[in-house]
Structure 1
Amino acid sequence: MVQQPSYFSLSDLVETDQRYAEVKRQLSPFERGSDEYLKKLIELCPLTQYVDDAELNKQQAIPVPNSQEDGYGPVYRSVLSPERQVSCFDISLPSFYHHFQLCTRLWPDNKCLGVRPLDAQTRTYSDRYEYITYAQVEERSRHLGSGIMSLVNVKRCKSLDSNDFIVAIFSHNRPEWVLADLACQAYSLTNTALYETLGPEASEYIMNLTGAPVLLFAKEAISKVISVLKDLRYVNTLICIDELTDSELHMLNSSLLPRKQNTNGEEISFHCLSQVEKIGATVQLPTTPPTLESIYTISFTSGTTGVPKGVVVPQRNATAGLTGGLAVVRIGKPDGTFMKDMCFLPLAHILQRQFLAYGLSTGGSLGFLHDPSPTNLVEDLKVLKPDYVVLVPRILTRFEQAIKQSLKKANYKGSKLPPALIHQIRASLGLDNAKFVLTGSAPISVDTLNFLSNALDVQMRQGYGLTESFAGMCFGEGSDINKGTVGPVGITCEVRLKSVPSMGYYADKDGKGEVQIRGPQVFTEYFKRPEETKAAIDDSGWFSTGDVASIDDAGLLKVIDRVKNFFKMAQGEYIAPEKVENMYLSSCPLVTQVFAYGDSFRTYLVGVVGIDEEVVKNTLAHKHGSLDPLRGENLANAINDNIRIKRDLLRLINGCCAQNLQGFERLHNIYVAIEPLTVEKNLVTPTLKVKRPVASKYFKEILYDLYEQGSLIKEDKL
Structure 2
Amino acid sequence: MGVSAADEKVDWSRIENRAPSVAHMFRDRVTALPDGEAFRYPVGEDWRSLTWSQTRDRAYALAAGLVELGVAAEERVALMSSTRLEWVLSDVAVMCAGAATTTIYPTTIHEDVAYILADSGSRVVIAEEAAQVETLRAHRAELPDLRKVVVIDGEGDGDWVVSFAELEESGRARLAAEPGVVDARIDALTPDHLATIIYTSGTTGRPKGVRLTHSAWTYEAAAVDAIGILSQEDLQFLWLPLAHVFGKVLLTLPLQIGFPTAVDGRVDKIVENVGVVKPTFMGAAPRIFEKAYGKITTMMQAEGGVKAKLFGWAGGVGKEVGLIRAAGGEPGGMLALKYRLADKLVLSKIRDRFGGRVRFFISGSAALNEDVARWFDAMGLLILEGYGLTETSAASFVNRPFAGGYKFGSVGWPLPGTEVRIAEDGEILLRGPGVTSGYHQLEEQTAEALAEDGWFATGDIGEVDEHGFLTITDRKKDLFKTSGGKYVAPSLIESMFKGICPYASQLVIEGDGRRFVSALITLDPESITAWAAKNGMAGDSYRQIVTSQACRDMVQGYVDELNSKLNRWEQIKQFHILDHDLSVEEGDLTPSMKLKRKAVTTKYKDELDKFYVES
Task: Name the TM-score, length of structure 1 as normaliser.
Answer: 0.74
Name the residue aligned to 2:178. Answer: none
Q: Does 1:270 align with 2:161?
A: yes
Task: Call closer, same or farther: CA 1:176–1:458 in 2, change over 3 Å.
Answer: same
> What is the CA distance between 1:553 and its match in structure 2?
1.2
Q: Does 1:702 align with 2:607?
A: yes
- Which of 356, 364, 385 is the equivalent residue of 2:251? 356
Distance 1:142 1:206 in 2: 27
Q: Does 1:130 align with 2:43?
A: no
Once the two structures are superposed, the pairs formed by residues 254-269 of structure 1 within 5 Å of their partners are: 269=160
Distance 1:657 1:482 in 2: 25
**Contact 2:522–2:579 (8 Å) recurs in 1:** yes
**Contact 1:565–1:576 (8 Å) recurs in 2:** yes
Question: 1:415-456 deviations in whole A, cap 9, x for unaligned?
Answer: 332235333222233x2222211111111222211221222x
The DSSP-based 3-state class of the residue aligned with 2:395 is strand
Name the residue aligned to 1:683. Answer: 588
> What is the CA distance between 1:367 and its match in structure 2?
1.4
- Which of 275, 279, 301 is the equivalent residue of 2:170? 279
**Contact 2:4–2:404 (8 Å) recurs in 1:** no
Q: 5+ unaligned residues in a row in structure 2: which ranges?
A: 176-180, 318-341
The DSSP-based 3-state class of the residue aligned with 1:438 is strand
**Contact 1:86–1:520 (8 Å) recurs in 2:** no
Name the residue aligned to 2:388. Answer: 465
Which deviates more, 222-231 or 164-173? 222-231
Task: Call closer, same or farther: CA 1:79–1:544 in 2, change over 3 Å.
Answer: farther
The DSSP-based 3-state class of the residue aligned with 1:418 is helix
Q: 5+ unaligned residues in a row in structure 1: which ranges?
A: 1-56, 63-77, 119-124, 154-161, 254-267, 501-512, 711-718
Name the residue aligned to 2:328. Answer: none
Question: What is the identity, as a one-letter code, of the residue corresponding to 1:470?
Answer: S
> What is the CA distance between 1:616 and its match in structure 2?
5.4
Name the residue aligned to 1:105. Answer: 31
> What fraction of aligned residue pairs are identical, expressed as a percent?
25
> What is the CA distance between 1:694 and its match in structure 2?
2.8
- Which of 256, 270, 273 is the equivalent residue of 1:377? 270
Computed over aligned residues only, the root mean square deviation of the Cα atoms, in angstroms, reads: 2.7
Name the residue aligned to 1:612. Answer: 524
Task: Call closer, same or farther: CA 1:92–1:635 in 2, change over 3 Å.
Answer: closer
Question: 1:539-558 deviations in whole A, cap 9, x for unaligned?
Answer: 32111111111111111111
**Contact 2:359–2:381 (8 Å) recurs in 1:** yes
Task: Call closer, same or farther: CA 1:663–1:329 in 2, change over 3 Å.
Answer: farther
> What is the CA distance between 1:520 and its match in structure 2?
1.1
Question: 1:543-574 deviations in whole A, cap 9, x for unaligned?
Answer: 11111111111111111122133344332333
Distance 2:276 2:614 in 1: 51
> What is the CA distance between 1:618 and its match in structure 2?
7.4
Name the residue aligned to 2:323. Answer: none
The DSSP-based 3-state class of the residue aligned with 1:323 is helix
The DSSP-based 3-state class of the residue aligned with 1:685 is coil
Name the residue aligned to 1:140. Answer: 58
Distance 2:469 2:488 in 1: 26
**Contact 1:565–1:577 (8 Å) recurs in 2:** yes
Q: Does 1:440 align with 2:345?
A: no
**Contact 1:305–1:691 (8 Å) recurs in 2:** no
- Which of 284, 308, 325 is the equivalent residue of 2:224? 325
Task: Call closer, same or farther: CA 1:219–1:620 in 2, change over 3 Å.
Answer: closer
Question: 1:317-363 deviations in whole A, cap 9, x for unaligned?
Answer: 1111112211234333xxxx632211111001111111111123222
> What is the CA distance between 1:304 and its match in structure 2?
1.5
Question: What is the identity, as a one-letter code, of the residue corresponding to 1:199?
Answer: I
> What is the CA distance between 1:599 and its match in structure 2?
5.7
Name the residue aligned to 1:584. Answer: 497
Name the residue aligned to 2:236. Answer: 341
Once the two structures are superposed, the pairs formed by residues 124-273 of structure 1 within 5 Å of their partners are: 125-126=45-46, 129-152=47-70, 162-219=72-129, 221-242=132-153, 244=154, 248-249=155-156, 252-253=157-158, 269-273=160-164
> What is the CA distance between 1:192 and its match in structure 2?
0.9
- Which of 377, 380, 399 is the equivalent residue of 1:476? 399
Distance 1:495 1:533 in 2: 19
Question: 1:556-595 deviations in whole A, cap 9, x for unaligned?
Answer: 1111122133344332333343344344345543422122
The DSSP-based 3-state class of the residue aligned with 1:202 is helix
Number of aligned residues? 572
The DSSP-based 3-state class of the residue aligned with 1:462 is strand
The DSSP-based 3-state class of the residue aligned with 1:471 is coil
Question: What is the identity, as a one-letter code, of the residue corresponding to 1:380?
Answer: N
The DSSP-based 3-state class of the residue aligned with 2:583 is coil
Task: Call closer, same or farther: CA 1:487–1:270 in 2, change over 3 Å.
Answer: same
**Contact 1:193–1:348 (8 Å) recurs in 2:** yes
Q: Does 1:557 align with 2:483?
A: no
Distance 1:241 1:115 in 2: 15
Name the residue aligned to 1:394. Answer: 287
Task: Call closer, same or farther: CA 1:406–1:648 in 2, change over 3 Å.
Answer: closer
Question: 1:182-201 deviations in whole A, cap 9, x for unaligned?
Answer: 11111221111101121111
Question: What is the identity, as a one-letter code, of the residue corresponding to 1:194?
Answer: I
Task: Name the TM-score, length of structure 2 as normaliser.
Answer: 0.86
Distance 1:577 1:422 in 2: 33
Name the residue aligned to 1:499. Answer: 424
The DSSP-based 3-state class of the residue aligned with 1:565 is coil
Task: Call closer, same or farther: CA 1:697–1:447 in 2, change over 3 Å.
Answer: closer
Task: Call closer, same or farther: CA 1:286–1:472 in 2, change over 3 Å.
Answer: closer
Task: Call closer, same or farther: CA 1:192–1:89 in 2, change over 3 Å.
Answer: same
Q: Structure 1 or 2: larger helix share? A: 2
> What is the CA distance between 1:115 and its match in structure 2?
1.7
**If you compute each CA radius of gyration, which structure gives the higher value, 1 or 2?**
1
Distance 2:13 2:459 in 1: 24
Distance 2:196 2:3 in 1: 35
**Contact 2:2–2:404 (8 Å) recurs in 1:** no
Question: 1:623-669 deviations in whole A, cap 9, x for unaligned?
Answer: xx34555342221222xxx3x7535523422413532x322222222
Distance 2:129 2:82 in 1: 11
> What is the CA distance between 1:280 and its match in structure 2?
1.3
Task: Call closer, same or farther: CA 1:452–1:645 in 2, change over 3 Å.
Answer: closer
Q: Does 1:297 align with 2:184?
A: no
Task: Call closer, same or farther: CA 1:87–1:607 in 2, change over 3 Å.
Answer: farther
Task: Call closer, same or farther: CA 1:361–1:697 in 2, change over 3 Å.
Answer: same
Distance 1:611 1:376 in 2: 21
Question: What is the identity, as a one-letter code, of the residue corresponding to 2:559?
Answer: I
> What is the CA distance between 1:675 and its match in structure 2?
5.0
**Contact 2:411–2:471 (8 Å) recurs in 1:** yes
Name the residue aligned to 1:314. Answer: 213
Distance 2:141 2:584 in 1: 24
**Contact 2:295–2:502 (8 Å) recurs in 1:** no
